[in-house]
Every structure is written in C-alpha cells, then in structure tokens.
Amino acid sequence: MFFSNKNDVNEIMRFLNEFDSYMDNELNDINTDKENKSKKLIQIEDKILDIAKKLRTKKTEDLKVYGEIMLVCEKLSDGYTNDEISTKSSDAKINYISKTINEMTFKVNHAITEVSTRLKEYQEQNYLNEVDTGLFRGGSMLDLLKGVNSLKDEITLILKDNYRFALVSEYESEILSDESRKLSRSSMIQAVTIEETAASIEEISANISQNRTTTSKMADYGKKVHASAEQGIVLVNKTLNSMDDISEATKKAFEAISIISQIAFQTNILSLNAAVEAATAGEAGKGFAVVAQEVRTLATKSAEAAKTIENLMKDLTNKTHEGTVTSKNLVDEYNILNENISETISLISSVETASKEQEIGINQINDAVAKIDTFTQENAVIADKVSSIAKQNLNFAMKTVDKMKSIHFVGKEKIKIRKNEDQNYIGSEKRE
C-alpha cells in the first residue's frame, strides 16, 4: 500500500481537509508541522503545498482580474464607459473575456462620446455632422446611433422648411410692410380728400339750397310778371278801344270841321255877294259894305282856322291810326311776352323741381360722404395699425432669418425663394 499505516491516512485526510478549506478561502494558511510525520508523507504534503501555492497565486491573479471586471461592469451599469481592465491573467480565457469587455467599453464609450459630441453640436445649432454607425453590427446600440442620425435628418428637414418659410416670410413681410405703408399714406390722403370733398359738397349743398330759394322767388316774381303782363294786355286793349273811340271822335270832329269849312266858304261867297250889292247901292250901302267886309274877314279867318284844325285833325287821325297800330302791335308783343313769361315760369318751375331733387340728392351724397369720411378715418387708423403690425412682423421675420442663418445644416446654402419679374413671391422655393 501507498500509505503504511492508518495514522498516515488520517494525517493525509486532515491535510486534504485543510487544503480544501484553504482553497475555499476558509483558511488563510495550512498547518505544515512536520513532526511525527514520515518522509513520504512530508514529500506529499510539500507537493500538495506547491500545487496549492500555484493555485492560490493563480486564484489571486484571477481575483484581481475578476475584481476589475466587476468594477468595470459596475461602472458601466452606473453610466461610466471610460474604464478598462488592465490586469492580465495567466488564463487565456479570462484574458479573452477582459479583452472583449475592454473592446465593448471602448466601442460604447466611443459611441456615447460621439453621440454626446453630436448632441452638443446640435445644441449649438450645428447639424452638419453625423454619428459613425460602423462601430456596431446591429442591436440597440446601432439603433441608437441610427436614431441620432435620423433625428439629425428630421431636424434638418424641419430646419430647411423653417428656413424657406423664414425667407418667404421675410420677403412677404417686407412687401407687406411697404404696401401697408403705402396703404397708410393713401388712407391719410384719402381721408384728407374726403374731408375736403365733404366740405365742398356741403358748400354745394348750401349753394343748391340758395339756388332753390332764388328759383322759388324767381317763380313767384315770374307769376307776378305774368299777372302784370296779363293786366298790361287788358290795359292795352282798353287803350286800343280808347284809340278807336278817339279815331271815331276824330272822324266826327273832322266832319264837323268840314262843315265849318263849308260854312266859312259859303259865308265868304255870301259876303262877296253882299259887298257887290253894297257897292251897287252906293252911299246907302257903305255901312253894309263894311259889315260884309268884316263878315268876309271872319269867314276867311274861319276858313283858315278850319283849314288849320283840319290839318291838325288829319295829323291826329294819322297819330291815332299809328297809336292803334302800335297798340295792336303792343298787344301782340304782350301776348308773346306773356307766352315767354309762361315758358320762363315753366322753366323756372322745372329748375326749382330739379333744384329740390338736387338738394335731396346732394344731401344724400353729403350723408354718404360723411359715412365714407367716418369709414375712411377708421380705415386710416386700421391701416396705420396694419402698418405697425407689418413692421413688427417684418422685424420678427428678419430676426427669424438671422437666427436661422446662425444654424448650420446640410443643404442650407441651396435654399432660395423664387420671384417673378414684378418681384412678387410665386410660392415655391428654388432647389438646386
């Protein structure tokens, strides 16, 4: 047998038990008392002790590696990715595990560092760079890196749209600001013009009212003139009748004068005959001759007076005839005047009616212009507010464009807005 006695076996079992406890880290040391031991047993124990020391040394090294592995894993679980395993083991498998863990922490650290760098760049409005997705072949980490790049792409699209919108908004706001300023100026000019127009219309309204009053008075005067003309016609007709009476009386007077003239002629003849008879009578007829001479003289004077009166009567007859003709003409002229007065009155009435309608119309226009004036004043105020809002909007758009210019992203320099020949925005951006 290998062992000579039972004591040796017991001693070996005791030693193995201590060795087992030592290997389980229950004992820090093994009792190596060599008294009362055989030489073979001491050799066995020494050999086992050498093996135990080698195992203990290897275990100590492995424990350091395990400790660093645990520390790296704990730090990794707490979010620290910049640690690594530096201790080496004599066990190739453990070293491979350490190398794998170091590569893992390096990739994770590199990926997280790059993600952190990109996020800081994004925070600083720089979206030009992407995260390197070649570190991982798949899994959540690759999804994370792709997600960051996808986020960058989505933000870039949003920034492109926002930049286009900002450029369009700036351009349209500038146009709106210019047009609103023009509108404000036009509204102010329009308000002043409407005010002046309202004053002019009010003056015209007063003039039309005055004209209507004047035409009304003219119509009244025309009616009075018409009545006077009719009265004149009556008087002229009376005058014409009087002229006829005068003409008739003149004829009768002329006939009486003719009789007087004939009597004077007969008296003259009789006085001649009496003078002849007185001359025949001689001395006795001298007195009678004187009387006959006087009678002849009176007859001659009567004849001359009759002749003068006859001439005057002829003139009177002619004048009466002329007066009659003139009176008839005057009646005709009065009739014409009366017709003209009637036409004038009719025209004045038409003018008066038109003036009334004009007054009503101009009053309505005046009211409408007053309302327009009110609305224009309100529009002027609104236009001024619109101008102020447009100016604020332009300032906001310009600030937005300036802010967007400070943001860096792919394709920014290619974003343009397209305008037509009239410098008006058509509505689509230019993509080169």
Q: At 126, is the secondary structure helix, strand, or coil?
A: strand
Q: Which residues pair with 425 in a beta bridge?
A: 419
Say how many CA atoms lie within 13 Å of 27 toward its Cβ. Answer: 13
| Buried-state track 274-308, b at ≥16 Cβ within 10 A, e below 16 | bbeebeeeeeebeeebeebeebbeebeebbeebee
> In sequence order, which ranges of 86-138 are alpha helices (DSSP H)?
92-123
Q: Which fold has domain 167-410?
A: Helix Hairpins (1.10.287)
Residue 428: the pLDDT is 42
**Domain definitions of the chain by residue range:** 6-123, 167-410
Query: DSSP labels for 52-89?
Result: HHHHHHHHHHHHHHHHHHHHHHHHHHHT----------
The C-alpha atoms of residue 415 and residue 407 are separated, in whole angstroms, by 13
Same fold, 6-123 and 167-410: no
**More confidently predicted of 40 and 371:** 371
Phi, psi of 415 (to 5 degrees): -80, 120
Q: At 17, is the secondary structure helix, strand, or coil?
A: helix
Q: What is the DSSP letter of 124?
A: T
Q: Which residues pair with 417 in a beta bridge?
A: 429
**Interval 263-278 mean pLDDT:** 76
Rounded-to-10 torsion of CA 89, 94, 98, 100: 150
First to last CA, the chain: 98
Q: How many helices (H) and strands (E) are present in the chain, helices listed first?
A: 5, 4
- Which of the four pLDDT bands, split at 50, 70 and 90, describes residue 420? low
Phi, psi of 429 (to 5 degrees): -85, 155
Residue 33: the pLDDT is 61
Q: Which fold has domain 6-123?
A: Four Helix Bundle (Hemerythrin (Met), subunit A) (1.20.120)
Q: What is the DSSP letter of 249?
A: H
Residue 364 has pLDDT above 70, yes or no: yes
pTM of the model: 0.47
The C-alpha atoms of residue 293 and residue 165 are separated, in whole angstroms, by 145
Give the helix/strand (H/E) hosting 6: helix 6-23
Residue 31: the pLDDT is 65
Give CA separation, 270 vs 244, 282, 284, 288, 303, in Å.
38, 18, 19, 13, 14
- Which of the four pLDDT bands, split at 50, 70 and 90, describes residue 1? very low
> pLDDT tens-digit profile of 125-135?
888 888 888 88
User: What's at 119, amino acid-wise?
Assistant: L
